[in-house]
Structure 1
Amino acid sequence: MDPQRSPAPPPSRGGGGGGGRYAIRAVIMAVVMSVFAGYLFLWMMISTNPYRLKWLPKVRTQTASTYFGTTHGATYLLFTFPVMFIATLGCVYLHLGKKSSTDNHTKGKNERLAILKRPMIIKGLGIVSWIEIAFFIMFIALLTWNFATYLRNSFATITSKSAAKKGEQVWEVKLDSASHRLALVANIALAFLFFPVTRGSSVLPLFGLTSEGSVKYHIWLGHIVMTLFTVHSLGYIVYWASVNQLSEMLEWKKTGISNVAGERRMFEVFFYSHHMYIPFVVFFIYHVGINYTSMMLPGFFLFVIDRYLRFLQSRSHVRLLSARVLPCETVELNFSKTKGLSYTPTSIMFLNVPTISKMQWHPFTISSSSSLETDKLSVIIKGEGKWSNKLHQLLSHSIDRLDISVEGPYGPATTDFLRHELLVMVSGGSGVTPFISIIRELIHTSQTSKYQTPKILLITSFKNSNDLTMLDLILPICGAPSEFPNLDLKIEAYVTREKHAPPAEEKEKTTTSTRTVWLKPNPSDAPISPILGTNNYLWLGAIISSSFIIYLFFIGILTRYYIFPIDHNTNKIYPSASRASLHMLFLCIGVFIAATSAFLMNKSSNARDRTTQIQNMEGATPQASPNSLFYNADRELESLPQQSISQLINLHYGERPDLKKFLFERKESSVGVLVCGPKKMRHEVANICSSGLAANLHFESISFSW
């Protein structure tokens, strides 16, 4: 260990508000884990006779009412309420985490989990940890257990005599039963399908997950659901054909199961056209009925809340200040943001440029640090497709302004980089972007924090020497210190398709061809701000709880004073499709009322911050650039300490980095290994870290291509 870099002292957790918040968070987490364990236990027992014959009838008897009927109350209590409770309580937990005055940089806990987090590569799943594999196997075991239990219990009642009464053969009755049970098992996976793609989730961060990092779980669950629902549908088609009842495929019963809706719900249609998820969910509800849907309701509900909040945020254009246009067809967009908006390194943001396409939204990694750049937010976009190339072309020409809408930022609730003695960042091409955000964050930390910042080794590969200009973006346009002696940064840059450095005059031309475009936004353009304010998790918790209560209130009143009299005072039975439609309507009304109210309340507060910030920015008339919003902006650009960055770069031409040598030679006690780039590069680094030859390597993949 370098004697000049002693490890940081462990943070104190006792005393003051920080200790109290830590204790409260510990209690909340204990409650959350207890409720979640009970929720999973219900899914494990749902196929058993004790649940179906004893527990469920008892709960239904105790929850039956004229407001929710004889069955809905039990389903809400057992399957809907626990997740909504976890989501709401999770918001409080995350809010207290944001307010905590001390960061958790302790090493013991993470080192104990190092073996479980060690990566492995499995065909079809990609790079996964032992923890992920364990949970995946347990989930498959849960599905297998339920299906086997369903079949054992149902097949026990199927005999030649019972089949003869139906005028069918035993195998036909068993096929009918097995096909039905496949759908029940698929619904378990469906219940968890929407959680990974809820970007503003309060559930995922509780388990240390992010929405962008959990997309692979959504893909896994999607394949499971697709397979089971497809076999379920094919099984019924074979069954109906064997008993000469193919007309059942066109049946839409007034009550009970709707076969037509189920066929429209076939998952391969949804799988190949994800934007059709709304019809998928609607026809699913029509197919199985609202009571059974309530078991999967939490995932739907939380996703709808998140989707509507994203819709509200995306309705306005944001204030784009400038763009740095690089010769490697890369641009850095610099937006204005309110100081109340904070985010962690490696966060992402979705962008829409109506000039290019009104429908397309693309995710990009945020390269700025909210700590270092309190009033600006930056993203880096490499021209690697039609959309990004058009954006580069637009900014390469003289334009006064550009309309852009955003969704986000989204990212991890916390980061734990300071627990390592060394950070090794391996990138390929535009994969360097998330590491720029980490470096900028550590530049700020090295200047302000009492904790020792880790040493940084950036190993980056580019195809051409023009791409080296992306390293100029490590420092922001302004606001960076002229030097950072407290940060030990080294950069090993590789140019793989050129054997020698370009001539001096060509290199000078490339260096000077980077230019900054200063844009003049419309007065209506607003700085990027947190949609629910600085206390966003508390507001999110209020939206989740209040929207669910509003939904239950309207449904209770409707059932008590409209549906119940029809079912009990007349010879009619209220249609299942109409009941389902009203439930969907009131769910949307509840989300609309709660989310819109929270959005409007925070909008006025955000507007005051925006007005103050814009007035400060536009105080003087720019001298050097007619469209600049900063006085002497060009002089600030010229003062960038690019010389200090170039001195840190060790260039290699015509070769690729020897990653094994770089990683195995590190003797630091804890080495955090981050990789972002092509699939082959990620797998190579994962194989090195999983070899077990270096216990000090701790792997973390950063991939946005999934």
Structure 2
Amino acid sequence: MKRSHSQETCGMVQSAIRIVALVVFVGWIFIWIMSPTNTYKEKWFPQFQPKTTSIYFGKQGSRILVNTFPIIFIAVLGCIYLHIAKKSNGSNMDRCNGKKHETTIWNRSIIIKGPLGIVSGTEVAFLIMFIALVIWSFTIYMYNGFATITPKLAAKASTKVWEMRLESAALRLGLMGNICLSFLFFPVARGSSVLPLFGLTSESSIKYHIWLGHTLMILLTSHGLCYIIYWALTNQISQMLKWNTTGAANIAGELALIFGLLMWIATTQRIRRKMFELFFYTHNLYILFIMFFIFHIGISYACIMLPGFYLFLVDRYLRFLQSRHQVRLISARVLPCETVELNFSKSHGLTYNPTSIMFINIPSISKLQWHPFSVTSNSNLEQDKISVVIKSEGTWTKNLYKLLSSPSTIDRLGVSVEGPYGPASTNYLRHDTLVLISGGSGITPFISIIREFLFLNTKIKCKTPNIILICVFRKSSSLSMIDLILPISTIPYDISNMKLQIEAYITKDKEPLLNIQTYLQTKWFKPNPTDAPIYAILGSNGWLWLGAIISTSFIIFLIIIGIFIRYYIFPIEHNSNNIFSSPLRSFLHMLIICVSIIIVASVAFLLNKKHGAKEEKKIQDLEGSPPTTSSSSTSSNTDIELESLPFESFVQVTNVHYGIRPNLKRLLFEIQGSSVGVLAAGPKKMRHEVAAICSSGLANNLHFESISFSW
């Protein structure tokens, strides 16, 4: 009863937070809607600006309050919301006793084909709002701009009407680019507290970052070309070489455009796939792009796009702190299907949800390349270990497989990680039956889900849904991936109480191959004193710490910049009637923002690292020294026949079909139950097929969720 009341209270608090965040967000969007209108420019803003312009913040005080503060506030609210969600979801008993609820229209997949692919109602709503905002803003900007251009005004300026309209259009294209830039960085903040607040994830939203980037560069390129044409026609080509101390700095804008074009060219699919390191190098030019963009438009207008970039900077610096340390790799299992499982040591305080991902860098293969992989372990079932499975498909993964499958002995492999990142909460227990449909390596996120149910069923004695795993492989050797469902452990796991059914389809092989390699190779690595377990960078209360970092660093920025403007810039401008250099003002703001974030995030990181080390030592003292691998097994390769592994536990629940593909429509329609959750991971064509079946309306009990990683 107490747990139920606690869960209800948490739900009410979360609902209140979402309502407040939604109201603030709607107000922020309303400002965007009104900004192009004459009402805002001539009536509202002139009345509002004098009340916010002070000797501490200057003219940008109004922009900070109207454009920047609302998103910072929403981000902090999101951190509180996600902290409550994590604690609520972390209670196993609450999860077992939680109410079952149906999928709403906001997270149900509603578009299957076309350029959007599989998207939720929330994604469609945001996309429609953004497109409407862009069309509305451009139309009103152009209408109001052209309305002020008359033949009389053109004659007075010794230009033609169409030339003045070209300049007006060029300016408006730049303003539209600023709108795209304002939303560009939200999807790429991996630890975002804003996206989950609205039911979105960074993994599913990365495609919008790509589209926004393309749109941004089209608009900014058109903006630059229109101005160059205008200057050439009006004999003002020398404007290209001007860097004004007030107003727009043309050279800074041109440099920002050049850096943006270099990034844009490097994002083409051919370069990204064939020359990833070139793509990585050039994409880091975003730092110079943003810096010169701010120099170009000035810090006052930059406050419009600042919130998204500010949150990205916080996220990026925290990732930088985590990736500086190499982690302890315990072992690697090499499967006969050119797949490897990496097992890392982790702290007990690091918890994560099923379907999480982790970014991995192995300097011996590539010092620059970071690749995301599904986490297959379960933080409740395996408190001191975290695992990822890597399928040999690209150049980087093939090199890793060759390295680990070679006969030569490898004592140690240096690895750095970022993450894990995943959903703030999951509620798969709301379904009576859960159907997991995978193609190839798409089975890996489902391993973590099945292990979660294994934990709930065996440790918590919680009733779990019926699980039907439909996995499609090309070759028989890939059947060894099913063996990874059970973790490496000396404790036997009884899956007899789990209602698990596995249907494996081998499309290329017509029958079982007798000469297939049936040995799984395990490599153990020697511990290195410099390697550390993977830990939660901000501890178990990471969301609260993130909220504190965002709010505190922003407050420190406001205090420092306020003092600097009041006691340095203000006396210069008002005592000597000089105008303080706009580029220098912008540089000081950027510097103070970076310093504030670095100081606050570093302090939070060090405090949590110290606290985490103490907690880990206490746990080790209570549990005793962790078992160490013998020297012989550390440096040698152990070959274990698959038939002797827990794979035998799945024989009775596994049906293998050779030479055919599954009839997904028939299989799904035959499943009984009032609520059937359908998850699909793997090739795009397969996910679209499953989504189309579930959304066809022929079976109202099917609720589809797509798992797609498009980093």
TM-score, structure 2 normalization: 0.92
Partner residue, 2:613: 607
Alignment CA distance shift 1:258-1:93 (3 Å): same
Partner residue, 1:113: 105
Partner residue, 2:286: 277
SS of the residue corresponding to residue 212 of structure 1 reads helix
Partner residue, 2:647: 642
CA contact (8 A) 1:118 1:699 kept: yes
Q: CA deviation at 1:624?
A: 8.5
Partner residue, 1:401: 412
- Match runs of 1:287-298 below 5 Å: 287-298=296-307
Structure 1 CA distance for aligned equivalents of residues 104 and 114 of structure 2: 27
Partner residue, 1:543: 549
Alignment CA distance shift 1:186-1:535 (3 Å): same
CA contact (8 A) 2:680 2:706 kept: yes
Q: CA deviation at 1:640?
A: 5.0
Structure 1 CA distance for aligned equivalents of residues 235 and 188 of structure 2: 42
CA contact (8 A) 2:345 2:533 kept: yes
Structure 2 CA distance for aligned equivalents of residues 436 and 362 of structure 1: 19
SS of the residue corresponding to residue 285 of structure 2 reads helix
Q: Select the residue among 105, 127, 134 that pairs with 2:118.
A: 127
CA contact (8 A) 1:270 1:280 kept: no
- Match runs of 1:48-127 below 5 Å: 48-69=37-58, 71-100=59-88, 101=91, 102-103=94-95, 105-108=98-101, 110-113=102-105, 117-127=108-118
Alignment CA distance shift 1:571-1:180 (3 Å): same
The one-character-per-residue Cα deviations of 1:202-253 (angstroms, maximum 9, x if unpaired) are 1111112221121112122222222222222222222222222222222211
Q: CA deviation at 1:275?
A: 2.4
Alignment CA distance shift 1:208-1:420 (3 Å): same
CA RMSD of aligned residues (A): 2.4
The one-character-per-residue Cα deviations of 1:519-541 (angstroms, maximum 9, x if unpaired) are 11212211111000101011111
Q: 5+ residue gaps in structure 1?
A: 1-10
Alignment CA distance shift 1:576-1:90 (3 Å): same
Partner residue, 1:524: 530
Partner residue, 2:663: 658
CA contact (8 A) 2:495 2:649 kept: no
Alignment CA distance shift 1:181-1:308 (3 Å): same
Is residue 2:683 matched to residue 1:685? no
Q: 5+ residue gaps in structure 2?
A: 267-281
Is residue 2:503 matched to residue 1:492? yes
Partner residue, 2:270: none
Partner residue, 1:348: 357
Q: Select the residue among 565, 587, 610 that pairs with 1:559.
A: 565
Q: CA deviation at 1:637?
A: 11
Q: CA deviation at 1:487?
A: 1.6
Q: CA deviation at 1:111?
A: 4.2
CA contact (8 A) 1:530 1:536 kept: yes
Is residue 2:480 matched to residue 1:469? yes
Structure 2 CA distance for aligned equivalents of residues 647 and 377 of structure 1: 28
- State which drifts further: 344-353 or 649-658: 649-658
Structure 2 CA distance for aligned equivalents of residues 479 and 46 of structure 1: 64
Q: CA deviation at 1:693?
A: 2.0
- State which drifts further: 23-32 or 205-214: 23-32
SS of the residue corresponding to residue 400 of structure 1 reads coil
2:233 partner amino acid? S
1:401 partner amino acid? R
Q: CA deviation at 1:22?
A: 3.0
Structure 2 CA distance for aligned equivalents of residues 612 and 625 of structure 1: 30
Partner residue, 1:37: 26
CA contact (8 A) 1:372 1:479 kept: no
| Runs of 4+ residues deviating >6 angstroms | 633-639
Is residue 2:253 matched to residue 1:268? no
CA contact (8 A) 2:520 2:641 kept: no
Structure 2 CA distance for aligned equivalents of residues 234 and 13 of structure 1: 63
Q: Select the residue among 175, 181, 203 that pairs with 1:184.
A: 175
SS of the residue corresponding to residue 112 of structure 2 reads strand
Structure 2 CA distance for aligned equivalents of residues 340 and 294 of structure 1: 38
Partner residue, 2:278: none
Alignment CA distance shift 1:90-1:129 (3 Å): closer
2:52 partner amino acid? T
Q: CA deviation at 1:201?
A: 1.1
Structure 1 CA distance for aligned equivalents of residues 164 and 642 of structure 2: 77
SS of the residue corresponding to residue 460 of structure 1 reads strand
TM-score, structure 1 normalization: 0.92
2:132 partner amino acid? A
Is residue 2:331 matched to residue 1:322? yes
Q: Select the residue among 166, 169, 180 that pairs with 1:175.
A: 166
CA contact (8 A) 1:352 1:404 kept: yes
- State which drifts further: 119-128 or 202-211: 119-128
Structure 2 CA distance for aligned equivalents of residues 270 and 572 of structure 1: 38
Partner residue, 1:304: 313
Structure 2 CA distance for aligned equivalents of residues 401 and 345 of structure 1: 28
CA contact (8 A) 2:549 2:601 kept: yes
Partner residue, 1:410: 421
Q: Select the residue among 581, 585, 591 that pairs with 2:591.
A: 585
